[in-house]
Amino acid sequence: MITFSDRGNCEGTDTEAFFTQNDTGTYTDKAMLQKICGNCKVVSECLDYALKNEVMGYWGNTTEGQRHRLRSKLNIISRPLYLDY
């Protein structure tokens, strides 16, 4: 259960941009995503959630690739979300 999301800057925005990538794997509007996340008061909670759970998309001002590298560096083993079903 995500408890911080209703306090984030992304609340009420079109979330499609957080999951839309072009052919090269780059988010189509990364500058907008960085702006939304950059001054968000819950960005650290969002990133913590995304590091601990295998989520897709742009979370906590990071891409999936960035989170993969962070997990390796910090020795974090993420939890598959399907375990919550």
Residue in the block written with tokens 């992304």: 10
Residue 47: band (very low, low, confident or very high) from pLDDT cuts 50, 70, 90: very high
Q: Is residue 4 part of a domain?
A: no
Q: What is the pLDDT of residue 22?
A: 87
- Output DSSP code: residue 76: -
The pLDDT tens digits of the residues spanning 66-83 come to: 999 999 999 999 998 776
The pLDDT tens digits of the residues spanning 18-46 come to: 998 888 888 888 999 999 999 999 999 99
Q: Is the pLDDT of residue 3 over 80?
A: no
Q: Is residue 1 part of a domain?
A: no
**What distances in angstroms separate CA 84 from CA 3, 18, 59, one per listed residue?**
15, 22, 19
Residues of the domain holding 46: 12-84
Q: What is the pLDDT of residue 82?
A: 75
Contact 51, 71 (CB under 8 A): yes
Question: pTM for this one?
Answer: 0.86
Q: Is residue 47 part of a domain?
A: yes
- Amino acid identity at 65: G
Q: Is residue 25 part of a domain?
A: yes
